Amino acid sequence: MPQKHFVNLRALLPNIKDDQDQCVDKLQTLLLSKSTLNKVHITREKDETGLCIHYDPDVLTLDQIKGDLALAGAQLTKQYHHESLHVEGMDSPDCGPIIEHLLMHLSGVLMAKVSYTAQQLRLEIDKEKISVEKVIRQLKRYGYQASRRERPPSWLQHNLELISSILAGVFLLISWLMATFATLPHLTTLVLLLDLAAFASAGWLVTRDGIETLLQKRLDIDVLMVLAAFGAGILGAWGEGALLLFLFSLGHALEHKALDRARDAVKSLAKLAPKTAIVKRDGIEREILVEELAHGDIVLIKPGQRVPVDGTVLEGSSSVDQSPITGESIPVDKRENDTVFAGSINTDGALLVRVDKLAEETTLSRMVRMVLEADTQQSPTQLFTARFVRYFVPTVLIAFVALIIIPPLFGATWASAFYRAISLLVASSPCALAIATPAAVLSGVARAAQQGVLIKGGMHLENLGIIKVIAFDKTGTLTVGKPHVQTILPLQTDETTLLSIAASLETLSGHPLAKAIVKLAEQKQIPLKKVSDMQSITGRGVKGMIDGKLAELGSLKMFEDKSAVQAKANELHAQGYTAIMVRFDGKWLGLMGIADSIRPEAAATLEALRQNGIKKTIMLTGDNERVASAIAKKIGITDIRANLLPEDKLTAIREFIQQEKFVAMVGDGVNDAPALAQATVGIAMGGAGTDVALETADIALMGDDLNNLPFAVRLSRASRRVIQQNLWLSLSIVSLLIIGALTGITSLTTMVLIHEGSTLLVVGNALRLLRV
| Phi, psi angle pair for 420, to nearest 5° | -65, -35
Distance CA 682, CA 698 (A): 5
Phi and psi based region of residue 587 (left: phi greater than 0; alpha: psi -120 to 50; beta: remaining): beta
Distance CA 664, CA 687 (A): 17
Give the three-class secondary structure for 347.
Answer: coil
Q: What is the DSSP letter of 592?
A: E
Could you tell me which residues are beta bridge partners of residue 312? 339, 354
SS (H, E, C) 348-359: CCCEEEEEEECH
Distance CA 294, CA 656 (A): 47
Give the three-class secondary structure for 329.
Answer: coil
What lies within 8 Å, CB to CB, of 369 at 6+ separation is 17, 84
Report the candidate in 290, 328, 329 with the shortest Cα–Cα distance to residue 310: 290
The helix (H) or strand (E) run that includes residue 580 is strand 578-584
The helix (H) or strand (E) run that includes residue 24 is helix 22-32
Q: How many CA atoms lie within 13 A of 282 on its CB side?
A: 1
> How many CB atoms are located within 10 Å of the residue 618 CB?
20
CA 305 to chain centre: 27
SS (H, E, C) 294-326: CCCCEEEECCCCECCCEEEEEECCEEEECHHHH
CA 459 to chain centre: 11
What lies within 8 Å, CB to CB, of 608 at 6+ separation is 710
Distance CA 220, CA 150 (A): 26
Active-site residue list = 473
| Phi, psi angle pair for 117, to nearest 5° | -65, -35
